[in-house]
Amino acid sequence: KISENLPVIRQLDEAAINRIAAGEVVERPASAVKELVENALDAGATRIEVTIADGGKGLIRVKDDGCGIPEDALPLALSRHATSKIDGSDLLNIHTFGFRGEALPSLGAVGRLKITSRTAGGQAAEIAVSGGRSEPVRPAALSGGTVVELRDLFYATPARLKFLRTDRAEGQAVTDTIKRLAMAEPYVGFTLRDVTGGGEGRVTFRADPESGDMFDALHGRLASILGKEFAENALRIDAEREGLHMTGYAALPTYSRGAAVAQFLFVNGRPVRDKLLTGALRAAYMDVLSRDRHPAAALFIDCDPTLVDVNVHPAKSEVRFRDPGVARGLIVSGLRHALAEAGHRASTTVAG
């Protein structure tokens, strides 16, 4: 009698698994843009063009001039946990944005995805997948690199679609994502076009290969993203502590904001949103800024990959330092030192 009601354990099919995973990897159009642009960067692109419509809900297209995907590897690129970026045994040594092999299968499960690609010596080919069902690889026309086109995001998961905000708000989040990645990669040229309703809104962050050293390139990029005023009021930051290296620019207290809208933090080249780091940034300015003002800064912390875990969250925007105290101390003391040199000495000294 009991056995009649016994639950049956079944393996979920691939499409269902991908749709569940997509819930974690792709929260909104901006997360899809992040995944696709990171893939382009991992492929060594020097120019990346992003096109969106309807806040990214209707269309996201990312075109790059990177290494391309070999024709016979296209189906593999769409299969779950397949990646060219690590060999699986080395999760401690990650030098690329991607490594989970989840983005493309997830996007193909919740939207209509088409990948067109061509490697240096190969033929152009494309593969399409919609709601988890993929079509066979077909010949295509493309001079090189990769174009990934994602239409009707979340059409296969209407519940998720309902939770999205207005096209305007989603589009703004896409712009924000592009800005963060463009700061992280000042040598790469970025274009973002919004073609909603046949429009032509366009933001371009040009890359200038003549822009000298890393600081000059970053300074130029920050000027075009955060504005000339930020760039003119920014202190160059270059500090080190116990294997952690911090570079970037932080604005003088006189150029502060009423909200924490101009704080950009990166760990090993990856844009992160991390309470520990933003808390340290705040602490560094504590004595030179009133409570209702927020410092503006773009800071890059680099260290051996074994000193930080980027594997905390599927979207990978959180990090965990092996020694959080060192990261905090580096930010607080590095910024205070730069501020003091610029004549903004803190009234008290706080250990850190």
List residues binding Mg ion (CB under 5 A).
39, 98, 103
**Total Cβ atoms within 10 A of residue 194:** 22
| Listed ranges 1-9, 98-106, 175-183, 286-294: which one lies at the site for ligand ADP (CB under 6 A) | 98-106
Contacts of ligand ADP in 215-254 (CB under 6 A): none
What CA dihedral angle connects 30, 32, 38 and 44, to 10 degrees?
Answer: -120
From the list 17, 58, 84, 344, which residue makes contact with ligand ADP (rule: CB under 6 A)?
Answer: 84
For residue 225 the two structure tokens come to 């993203």
298 binds ligand ADP (CB under 6 A): no
From the list Mg ion, ligand ADP, none, partner contacted by residue 40 (C-beta under 5 to 8 A by kind): ligand ADP
149 binds ligand ADP (CB under 6 A): no
39 vs 256, beta carbon nearer ligand ADP: 39
Contacts of ligand ADP in 50-79 (CB under 6 A): 64, 66-69, 77
Alpha-carbon distance of 73 to 75, in angstroms, equals: 6
Whole-angstrom CA distances from 110 to 13, 52, 73, 152, 156 are 15, 17, 21, 8, 5
The residue with its CB nearest to ligand ADP is: 98
82 vs 195, beta carbon nearer ligand ADP: 82
333 binds ligand ADP (CB under 6 A): no
98 binds ligand ADP (CB under 6 A): yes
Alpha-carbon distance of 107 to 73, in angstroms, equals: 17
Interface contacts to ligand ADP, rule CB under 6 A: 35, 39-40, 43, 64, 66-69, 77, 83-85, 98-104, 146
